[in-house]
Structure 1
Amino acid sequence: MAARIAQTTGAAHTAILGLGVYRPTRIVTNDEVAGPIDSSDEWIRTRSGIKTRRFAGESETIHSMSVGAARGALESAGIAAEQVDCVIVATSTHLLLTPAAAPQIATELGMNAPAAFDVSAGCAGFCHALAMASDLVRVGTANHVLVVGVEKLTNTINPTDRSTAFLFADGAGAVVVGPAEQQGIGPVVWGSDGTQSHAIRQDKDWMEFFAEIDEKGLDAVRPYMRMEGTAVFRWAAHSLEKVCRDAVDRAGLSTDDLDAMIPHQANGRIIEIMARVLELPEHCALANDIEEAGNTSAASVPLAMEALLRNGESKPGDTALLIAFGAGLSYAAQVVTLPDWR
């Protein structure tokens, strides 16, 4: 007879216990990015809703931005670094295939050998990682999990590419997930659509690039991120209403119960369409951090969460719907209780 393998059990309920962010110092206006793409401030605002964005400097790296955001999250949660059992970093712009960013971030934070790994799910990465963190705590694999969404997209975009140069920016957001008296993180609704993988992609793989170096030498063109904006817009407008409604239903709530909606800050027009089709109640705050932060991919949801709390549009304890989507195409949504923030 086979031996019985023991199972662990964890907390009955989980929640976001603390939130921290890192916004790069340099503020970049539309006028600054408009020249290389033969555009204008008006065109960019109309197309995207963006007024400014943050570009990281050389010293503001994936690691340093993550550490800055993580320290804020730990402080607001009242959790010491050594109490964290697992670190999950959601990013698509850590440009080393190995090692992952998470172990080095954990070490710099002074953690005691936690499990640490990266997740690559495009702009939906933070919501994917948040779901994983909640499940890890509930099953007893970890007691506290640090989740970081971080991007340095300025390392991956061509400043002359009219489809991406004005949209993307840099930053980091982090949360601590742990046990709670009441459930503060609802069931995730997530998935992917590989038929749309062309919509957001790296335009050549590394082997193609190496072959081009052999052929052209210094004239070889490095890989860049490309996006088919119309395809992404149509997919999001068509597909995300059901994802949002399913996440609210799985949380046992209705849209009338929502105090806030925090979508991935992809495009101001997509945010407006999502709010309209969901028929959100008048009291429901709608995150619009894209105006000042641009599209920061996996960092955008925690950054937008912080902006809502900092500006007083939402408060700790409010019920918020998170929804994110991006390269893959991948998507994830869940209802959460907003954390204490300071």
Structure 2
Amino acid sequence: MVTFATPTGTSNIGILGIGAYRPQRLVTNDEICANIDVDSEWIYTRTGIKTRRFCGRDENITTMSVAAGRAALANSGLTGADVDALILATSTHGRCIPSAAPPVATAVGANGVPAMDLSVGCAGFGYAMSVAQDMIRAGSATRVLIIGAEEISMSLDMTDQGNAFIFGDGAGAVVVGPTPTRQMGPVVWGSEGSQSELIQQSMDWKDYLLGASHTDRPYMRMNGTAVFRWAAFEMGKVARRTLEVTGLTAEDIDVFVPHQANARINELLARNLKLREGVPVADDIEYTGNTAAASIPLAMYELLKSGRAKPGDTALLLGYGAGLSYSGQIVAMPPAPVV
């Protein structure tokens, strides 16, 4: 029997740099309230959201991903030629064919590398981090550009009082690669398909296209109350498991970066975890809304840019959303972004 060569990688992996892109169009609660029977204060009290960004005609998954990816590369001191793979976490790319990742890879200067989309909703960034980490450990890549990008505004029914005010568009990116010491812990991830109907598209595209009536179209629908209860209860367990498998305690956490779905959920999670007094909790949701797979990298970027978190801080990342899918991981915060 022949002996196959086996590549080897490294377990000393970390985030080398981070980038972000937020669309130009600012959408206030007052604008949202023009189509639903609530007021701006009602939205803020229940979600922590004041504004969000929506893509304009010249902005989409590709343009946002390219901008965020280029920024992450620049902040890592690298070019596209220095990465071996690209993972684009998104559930809102407008085309089924081709996937968004290959043309994005070419646009950032990484033409020819393996490039793929990963569709896991709001947990997409955490899933992408796990895949990239395993690729580097196995030796199939040295550096991986990870992008989370969503254009959720195109999937919203702006008359839906359940979720018209929650979501926004944007993109965040990181470069993951070898570091002098281990700076990324294992990912705790999973899904509960039995709860998948809580966040779903209102109808199948085939049903829509073959239907006799086109008075409606596929929209994203969410049972916000049920998702709130599930996240507030289950994600605390995921956070504790993440600490356990990483060999840390809540006392070791310098910054908490939960998915930006609802400020009340995040406050509850932080309180139940009994984090140290004064540990910053990401609150990017106030001005960005829920950007699904882009949520965590955008929140990390803002924490570093504002100085509330420092490079090297031990950060607990927690993502959850459609699926219902979830992920938890502890990482060292990357260098502060320059661009």
TM-score normalised over the length of structure 1? 0.97
Shift of 1:149: 0.2
User: C-alpha distance in 1, partners of 2:285/2:157?
Assistant: 20
User: C-alpha distance in 2, partners of 1:233/1:52?
Assistant: 20
Does structure 2 conserve the Cα–Cα contact (< 8 Å) formed by 1:53 and 1:292? yes
User: C-alpha distance in 2, partners of 1:79/1:95?
Assistant: 29
Equivalent position of 1:128 in the other structure: 127
3-state SS of the aligned residue for 1:197?
helix
Shift of 1:228: 0.4
Equivalent position of 2:236 in the other structure: 241
User: C-alpha distance in 1, partners of 2:111/2:165?
Assistant: 41
2:42 equivalent to 1:47: no
Shift of 1:12: 3.0
Equivalent position of 2:148 in the other structure: 149
Q: Deviations 1:257-292 (Å, cap 9, x if unpaired)?
A: 110000000011111111111011113110010001
User: C-alpha distance in 2, partners of 1:280/1:58?
Assistant: 43
For 1:93-104, what aligned pairs fall within 5 Å after superposition? 93-104=92-103
Equivalent position of 1:189 in the other structure: 188
Equivalent position of 1:337 in the other structure: 332
Structure 1: give runs of 5+ residues left out of the alignment: none
- The residue type equivalent to 2:191 in the other structure is S
Equivalent position of 2:118 in the other structure: 119
User: C-alpha distance in 2, partners of 1:112/1:104?
Assistant: 8
Equivalent position of 2:251 in the other structure: 256
- The residue type equivalent to 2:84 in the other structure is D
Equivalent position of 1:323 in the other structure: 318
Equivalent position of 1:172 in the other structure: 171
For 1:64-83, what aligned pairs fall within 5 Å after superposition? 64-83=63-82
- The residue type equivalent to 2:71 in the other structure is G
2:271 equivalent to 1:272: no
User: C-alpha distance in 2, partners of 1:257/1:110?
Assistant: 38
2:160 equivalent to 1:161: yes
For 1:277-296, what aligned pairs fall within 5 Å after superposition? 277-296=272-291
User: C-alpha distance in 2, partners of 1:25/1:277?
Assistant: 36
- Correspondence for 1:224 among 187, 198, 219: 219
3-state SS of the aligned residue for 2:315?
strand
- The residue type equivalent to 2:62 in the other structure is H
Q: Deviations 1:73-131 (Å, cap 9, x if unpaired)?
A: 00111111111110000001002112110001001112130000000111000011011
Shift of 1:185: 0.9
TM-score normalised over the length of structure 2? 0.98
Shift of 1:177: 0.4
2:5 equivalent to 1:6: yes
- The residue type equivalent to 2:245 in the other structure is R
User: C-alpha distance in 2, partners of 1:253/1:294?
Assistant: 30
Q: Deviations 1:204-227 (Å, cap 9, x if unpaired)?
A: 011110122xx12xx432100000
Q: Deviations 1:284-313 (Å, cap 9, x if unpaired)?
A: 110010001000000000000011111111
3-state SS of the aligned residue for 1:253?
coil
Shift of 1:4: 2.3
Does structure 2 conserve the Cα–Cα contact (< 8 Å) formed by 1:11 and 1:180? no
Equivalent position of 1:57 in the other structure: 56
Q: Deviations 1:229-262 (Å, cap 9, x if unpaired)?
A: 0110111111111110111121111110110000
User: C-alpha distance in 2, partners of 1:5/1:116?
Assistant: 25
- The residue type equivalent to 2:54 in the other structure is F
Does structure 1 conserve the Cα–Cα contact (< 8 Å) formed by 2:79 and 2:109? no
Equivalent position of 1:299 in the other structure: 294
Paired residues in the alignment total 337
Point out 4+ residue stretches in structure 1 off by more than 3 angstroms: none
